């Protein structure tokens, strides 16, 4: 970009000074509270660091241990499962809902949009505590509905059972993550060039064809954006896990994010926790690079 606009040296200098002057306030926070800790994180990951003791340099030992740690690998798997399951479902579900509600008359569309957005504004802690109650083994309404309709034979300990806990977490995560995509899709669908749709309908295209051939390409940028934010979102579901299961039962809901916290404040293994952070950061950087590539190639 710079190359295309030949600029004098003085101008470059002026622009640089002005540029950094404008960047300065933001840079202080960004470098101070994101980049610097990140560097610290990488650095400490080569140490055996714990509470109230000099850190001991151990090279790559933390990383070596990481890939032999069954719990970490389990947490890695759970993290990937959460992302892989929740991201597509969120996207497809919100696209379906939006495609139905976007042209509803009057109040209906915005009322639906509003309701689906409610769990987002309610806040993760309030959402977590009410779901904890609803999933409760003894007084929860899920067990009540399940047993009284005969769907389940006896009470299920949803959050205390290895087979269901992760699924429950994902379900809650889904309810808190479709709000924004629905808002986005509704507006994207409303902005689809209506003349193209009408022309296709005149040509006898089915509704499905109409959607797939005309609308879908036009809402593609929105889809990509939704993919990115949903991925970020599902990587950050810490509160649900900390409040509902603490990673249990039997580590079945451990995610890397929770396991870092667990290592830091239950096992006092700071260096090890940092090594995990580095691995997670690399994973996420690769994923975002991939998504940006996709966004550019569209």
Partner 1 sequence: MKKRKIMALLMSFAMVCSLTACGGKDTGASQPEPAPAPADNTAAPDTSANQAEPAPADPAQAADITLWTYPVGNWGDSATVDALIANFNAAYPDIHVTVEYLDYTNGDDQINTAIEGNQAPDIVLEGPERLVANWGARGLMVDLADLWTDDAKAAIYDSVENACKSNDGIFYEYPLCMTAHTMAVNRDIFEAAGALQYLDEEKGTWTTENFQKAIQAVYDNGQQNVGAVYCSGQGGDQGTRALINNLYGGTFTNPEHTEYTANSPENIKALELLKGMDGINFDASIAGGDEVNMFCNGTFAVAFCWNATQEKNNAEQGNINFDVLPMAFPTESGDPQLCGGIWGFGIFDNGDQAKIDAAKTFIDFMANDEKQAVESVKASNFWPVKDLGNIYEGDELMSEYAKFIPYMGDYYQVVPGWAEARTAWWNMLQQIGSGTDVSAAVEEFVTTANTAAAK
Partner 2 sequence: MKQKQTKQLDVYKIISVIIIAVLAFAFAFPLYWIIIGSFKTSAAINSATPQWWPQEWVLDNYRKLFSKQTAALWEINIPFTSISFAGPTVPAAIRWLLNTVFMAVASMILTCITSAMAGYALAKKRFVGRTLLFSLIVCAMALPKQVILIPLLREMASLELYNTIWAVIFPIVGWPFGVFLMKQFAEGIPGEMMEAAKIDGAGEWKTFYTIALPLIKPGIGALAIFTFINSWNDYFMQLIMLTSTKNLTISLGIAKLQAENATDFGLIMAGASLAAIPIIVVFLIFQKYFTKGITMGAVKG
Question: For 57, phi and psi rounded to 5 degrees?
Answer: -70, 125
Query: Considering all CA atoms of the chain, what is the largest pairwise distance in Å, rounded to the nearest integer?
Result: 79
CB of residue 151 vs partner 2: minimum separation in angstroms?
15
Q: How far is the CB of 159 from partner 1 (least distance, A)?
A: 5
Q: With H, G, I as helix, E, B as strand and everything else as coil, classify residue 47.
A: strand
User: What is the residue whose two structure tokens read 């759970």?
Assistant: 78
Distance in Å from the first CA to the final CA of the chain: 21
CB nearer partner 2, residue 166 or residue 264: 264
Q: How far is the CB of 52 from partner 1 (least distance, A)?
A: 5
Please tell me whether residue 48 adopts helix, strand or coil conformation. strand
Distance CA 99, CA 212 (A): 12
- Nearest approach, Cβ of residue 192 and partner 2 (Å): 13
- Identify which of residues 41 and 166 has a Cβ nearer to partner 2 in the complex: 41
Q: State the minimum distance, in angstroms, from the CB of residue 14 to partner 1.
A: 23
Q: Which is nearer to partner 1, 113 or 269 (CB)?
A: 269
Q: Which is nearer to partner 1, 130 or 294 (CB)?
A: 130
Q: Which residues bind partner 1 (CB under 8 A)?
A: 24-25, 28, 32, 50-53, 136-138, 157-162, 245-246, 248-252, 264-268
- Residue 260 binds what, of partner 2, partner 1, none (CB under 5 to 8 Å, by partner type)? partner 2
Whole-angstrom Cα distance, residue 211 to residue 163? 38
Cα separation, 297 vs 221, whole angstroms: 11
Considering beta carbons, is residue 17 or 56 the nearer one to partner 2?
Answer: 17
Find which of partner 2, partner 1, none residue 209 binds, CB within 5 to 8 Å per kind. Answer: none
Nearest one of 124, 120, 161, 119 to 140, comparing CA atoms = 161
């Amino acid at each position: 970009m710079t190359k295309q606009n030949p600029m004098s040296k003085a101008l470059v200098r002026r622009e640089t000074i002005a540029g950094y002057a404008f960047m300065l306030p933001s840079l202080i926070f960004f470098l101070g509270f994101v980049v610097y800790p990140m560097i610290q994180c990488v650095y400490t990951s080569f140490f055996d660091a714990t509470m109230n003791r000099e850190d001991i340099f151990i090279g790559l030992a933390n990383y070596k241990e990481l890939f032999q740690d069954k719990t970490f690998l389990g947490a890695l798997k759970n993290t990937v499962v959460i992302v892989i399951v929740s991201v597509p479902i969120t996207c497809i579900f919100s696209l379906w809902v939006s495609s139905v509600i976007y042209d509803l008359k009057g109040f209906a569309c915005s009322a639906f949009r509003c309701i689906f957005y409610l769990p987002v504004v309610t806040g993760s802690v309030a959402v977590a505590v009410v779901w904890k109650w609803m999933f409760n083994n003894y007084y929860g309404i899920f067990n009540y509905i399940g047993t009284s309709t005969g769907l389940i034979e006896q009470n299920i300990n949803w959050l205390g059972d290895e087979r269901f806990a992760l699924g429950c977490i994902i379900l809650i995560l889904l309810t808190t993550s479709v709000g924004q995509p629905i808002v986005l899709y509704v507006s994207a669908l409303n902005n689809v060039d209506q003349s193209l749709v009408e022309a296709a309908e005149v040509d006898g295209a089915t509704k499905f064809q109409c959607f797939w051939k005309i609308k879908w390409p036009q809402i593609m940028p929105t889809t990509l954006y939704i993919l990115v934010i949903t991925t970020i979102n599902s990587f950050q579901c810490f509160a649900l896990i900390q409040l509902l299961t603490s990673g249990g039962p039997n580590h079945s809901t451990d995610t890397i994010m929770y396991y870092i916290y667990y290592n830091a404040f239950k096992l006092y293994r700071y260096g090890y926790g940092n090594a995990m952070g580095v691995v997670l950061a690399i994973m996420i950087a690769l994923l975002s690079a991939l998504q940006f590539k996709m966004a550019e190639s569209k």
